[in-house]
Amino acid sequence: MVRSFYKAESAAVLKPALARLKKAAVRADGRYVVGSPGVEVSAVAAKPGVDLVVMGSHGRSAFKGLLFGSVTNTVLASCTTPVLLVRGSAAPTKDSLTVGIALDGSEYGLATLRYVTRHPTLFGASPRFFLIHVVPDYTMRFVPGLGDARLLVSSPQQILHAQVGQFDNVIVPARRLIGSAGLVVTEVCLVGNSAGDEIAAFATRTGLDLLALGSRGRGALKSLVLGSVATRVAERCKVPLLLIRQKSGV
């Protein structure tokens, strides 16, 4: 009786999905496993032969995910296979995608770029890429004890010099990877003190088809305490997200 129940419940989900894939001429097989969804998805994804996990996300914040539980949070925290999160935006109909690649200077950012350069056909015949980095807004700083007062802490020239230097430190290694892959990209320097908010806003404003970024795979509680750009982007961005969990040397 239990096995029959599992089979019937799974068929209600898998059959429509398989029928839709077949109609789109996509080869697919269906299977089900029993257990906690996030844990089981991560376990299956870790097996040889799995290159990408594709799943939907409600876009809950880290705190809500912690309160209500989130399959997505569990997968992101424990799965090292690249994950594509689809957030409800319409599927692109064009042959080549417009892709943003968020870089923060870490090994995880370079791993994301390396993944893109090694799998260019995932994005169509002639994809368009944006290399995105967010530099801090040094022009104004909050001064404790002065309420809402903000004071200029450096000259405009010093601020620009610092921002350009930080941008170059992140982008120069990326240029070498892009050059060896022969991809044509546009470099984007955003300014703001919340990288996640700035990246999400750019993705929406530019009409990106996909946003790729690295993730350290923090759990919901750690994201809540420590902050996570990937978590913030996932909260606010409706653009599909490709999250890469490997480091650049892997």
**Contact (Cβ atoms closer than 8 angstroms) between residue 227 and residue 190:** no
Residue 212 lies in a domain: yes
pTM as predicted:
0.80
Give pLDDT tens digits for 33-66. Answer: 999 888 899 899 888 888 899 988 765 555 555 4
Tens digit of each residue's pLDDT (9 = 90 or more) over 122-160: 898 889 999 999 999 877 554 555 555 555 556 788 888
Residue 37 lies inside a defined structural domain of this protein: no
160: CATH: 3.40.50.12370
CB 217 within 8 A of CB 246: no
* Total structural domains within the chain: 1
Q: Which of 16, 18, 53 is nearest to 37 (CA)?
A: 53
Q: How far apart are CA 161 and CA 229, in angstroms?
A: 25
Question: What value does the CA radius of gyration of the chain take, rounded to a whole number of Å?
Answer: 20
Q: For the chain, what's the residue count? A: 250
In a domain, 57, yes or no: yes
